[in-house]
Amino acid sequence: MELIVSMFLVAAQVLFTTGVKDVEAGRLNRARLAMQTLIRTYPEDPLVPDARAQIEAIKLYEEGQERMQQGRYDAAEFTFQTLLSVYPESPLVKQAEEAMRAAAHAREALTVRLTVRSVDLTDVGLEAGEIQKLFTEREVRLAAGKAFDPRDVEEARAVVTAFRTEHGAAGSQIRTEARMAGEHQVDVVLTRIK
């Protein structure tokens, strides 16, 4: 009887070791199959929780890779980080670290920094001095030479609209437009709708 139990323990260990080696070699489908076979064939073996952890780590790694292919770099980074945090002993740690760096690099490469080249406020119904004072008092960040942020454009529109309403132009509306003015520059135009 002891010989049979010993054979089962050896067989389970062989499956686990084979699966780990397959993970290290990047043969994830084979690794998953070895771990699943261990779990199904030897459900009481002490290696079963480790085999399940290996399968979950493989799933996370594949999910991260899929997100990379979809161009969802933030999500891929998060997935790889989860793998590293939850399964720090996984043989996939090195690949996950490399993939996480690749996702971060790809995300950064896609982030284009736009700069406001000019802000045209000539048709909002206010004098240039009034606009300057208004933007300074209300801390409006929209200005030529600064980073373009659509929230700043919306803030400027809201401030101009509110000011006009406060000074007798109730119902006045301001339209905004941002036009590309070069590879990394934007011209912003605010116009009063008559």
pLDDT, mean over the chain: 88
Instruction: Indicate if the pLDDT at residue 65 is higher than 90.
Output: yes
CA–CA separation, 26 vs 38, rounded Å? Answer: 19
CA–CA separation, 57 vs 149, rounded Å? Answer: 39
pLDDT at position 110: 67
Quick one: tokens of 24?
């290290």
Cα first-last separation, the chain: 94
143-162 average pLDDT score: 89
Q: What is the pLDDT of residues 16-46, one digit of tens each?
A: 999 999 999 999 999 999 999 999 999 999 9
* Percent of the chain residues topping a pLDDT of 90: 53
78-83 average pLDDT score: 95
**184 φ, ψ (degrees, to nearest 5):** -130, 25
122-139 average pLDDT score: 86
pLDDT at position 5: 45
